[in-house]
Structure formats: C-alpha cells, structure tokens
Amino acid sequence: METVSENKSFDGVQGVYTHASEVCGCDMTFGLFLPEDAKSGPVPLLWYLSGLTCTHENAMTKAAAQQWCAEQGIAIVFPDTSPRGEGIADDEAYDLGKGAGFYVDATENPWASNFKMWSYIADELPSLLGRNFELDMDRQSITGHSMGGHGALTIAMAHPDRFASVSAFAPIANPTASDWGKKQLGAYLGEDKGQWAKHDASLQMKEVGFDGPVLIDQGASDNFLDLLRPEALAHAMMARRQEGLFRMQKGYDHSYFFISSFMEDHVTFHAEALYT
C-alpha cells in the first residue's frame, strides 16, 4: 500500500491510498478519513459506496461527510467504483465498464478477469484496512449513493453480522426490473436471472431483510426516478416490516447537493447504531 496524499481535516486526516488488488488484478485507490479519536485507539468504520462514473474522489470532496464523522469519532472510507488502468475492459457507455462496476463479481467475458467489486468491497479491502489503520472492524456500517446505494444495501443484507446499520441516498432499488440493472447484470453475470437476485435490494429485502436499522433518502425531484424504482424498495420494506425509515425529500434531485444536505442525518443514524 502506498500513500498518495494525507491532509488535515477537522483535526483528523483525510488520506488517499493505492494498493495492488489481487481480486481486481490492478492497482486500486481509496480515500479514508480518520478522525482525531483514532490517535487514541481503534474507531468504528463507515463505508461510502459511490455511484456511476465516480471515483474515490467524488464523495470524498463533495459529500460533506468528514465534519460529521469527526464529531462522532467515526472513520469513513471511499472506495473506487471499478477496476481501472490499461488492459481493463471498458465500454463506450457511461453505465458499463470503468466507473460502473455495479458491486458484483463478473462471470462473463470480457469483465470476469477484473470486475470483482463485490469481493473487493466485502473481503479484500476490509482486510487491508484492518491491517493498516486504527479501525475497529467489529463496528462497521455502510451507506452509498445510486449505484453505491444498491451496493450498500445488497452487501449489507448478504453480511448481516458485519454491519450495524445501512443507509442509502437514491439507491438503484430494483435493478432486475430497470434499465439501470438489466443491462449491467446481463453483461456482468450472464442471462441466468437467478444469478441477479442477490444484487437486487428490493428482492433481497423481501427475501431476507436486514437485522438492524435502515435509512433511505430519495429526492422527490430526482430525474432518474423511473430507473431507480424507489417504490419497489419502499413496498418491500413495508411487506417485510423492516425496521427503518424511507423518506421522500421534496424538491431534491440526484446530485451531491442532495447528498450533502442529509449527510449529517446519515452519519448520526450510523453513529447511534455503532455506539449502541
């Protein structure tokens, strides 16, 4: 692991690091904010998974998370959204290939060699973080935006003993029934739709739910509502009687202005679960 940069932020450190990923077969970059509390011992960790076209940097610089994480004594990690570099498969469309890993382990060519974002987020990167930083890996929570909200929800439900809480901003909530999903899941996983189900938050909410609190914020003026299908997730939460809160935020769109407006709520929500 190599340090790209470290900057003081809210009396903590916002770092950017790169490392050779075995599962993705390339160098991967992530951002990690450590609050001042980490100087005294391990702190809880919040994951932030970003959306389509993003790198580690977008949320790190636009989501306004560091201030609230510093106040709560929580670290926050900003992984990249896909493998990158020469020789990595890509597509001309913005919603497939680099910047669009969709948090799955691809089984289809040409993606299968490198696009292993599920294993990277669920296994490889947590191991790396636990070995190299003052983090309490027994206390983790997860959030994300859009494609990253999809990833946060599906990974949390697949690892019920790992995460104390899960939240999402405008998640791709029902990808098996959306053009933001059918295209990517078909390309990465093939045409067997039985393999798609564990990557659909609405289907997983109906099937297994989450053993902890859930917070969903969706902008009511989001121009991608038909692709996100938030109503499917809301109905699934009600049918499951899931502990949680689903909020439609009047006038808000899909941008980081929306995310930063409610980031304090999400960090506070996770802090309550992490420190219970």
Residues 183-197 have pLDDT tens digits of 999 999 999 999 999
DSSP H stretches of helix in 76-121:
117-119
Q: Looking at 82, 146, 165, 202, which residue is catalytic?
A: 146
Give the closest residue to 24 by CA, choosing from 112, 86, 122.
Answer: 112
Domain boundaries, the chain: 6-274
Which residue among 56, 141, 222, 270 is the active-site one? 222
Give the integer Cα–Cα distance in Å for 253 and 189: 30
Pick the catalytic residue: 56, 145, 199, 254? 254
Looking at domain 6-274, its CATH superfamily turns out to be: Alpha/Beta hydrolase fold, catalytic domain (3.40.50.1820)
Predicted model pTM: 0.98
260 is catalytic: no
**Is 27 designated active site?**
no
List, for residues 68-112, the tens digit of each pLDDT value.
Answer: 999 999 999 999 999 999 999 999 999 999 999 999 999 999 999
Q: What angle do CA 113, 92, 111 make, to 5 degrees?
A: 10
Mark whether 254 is an active-site residue: yes
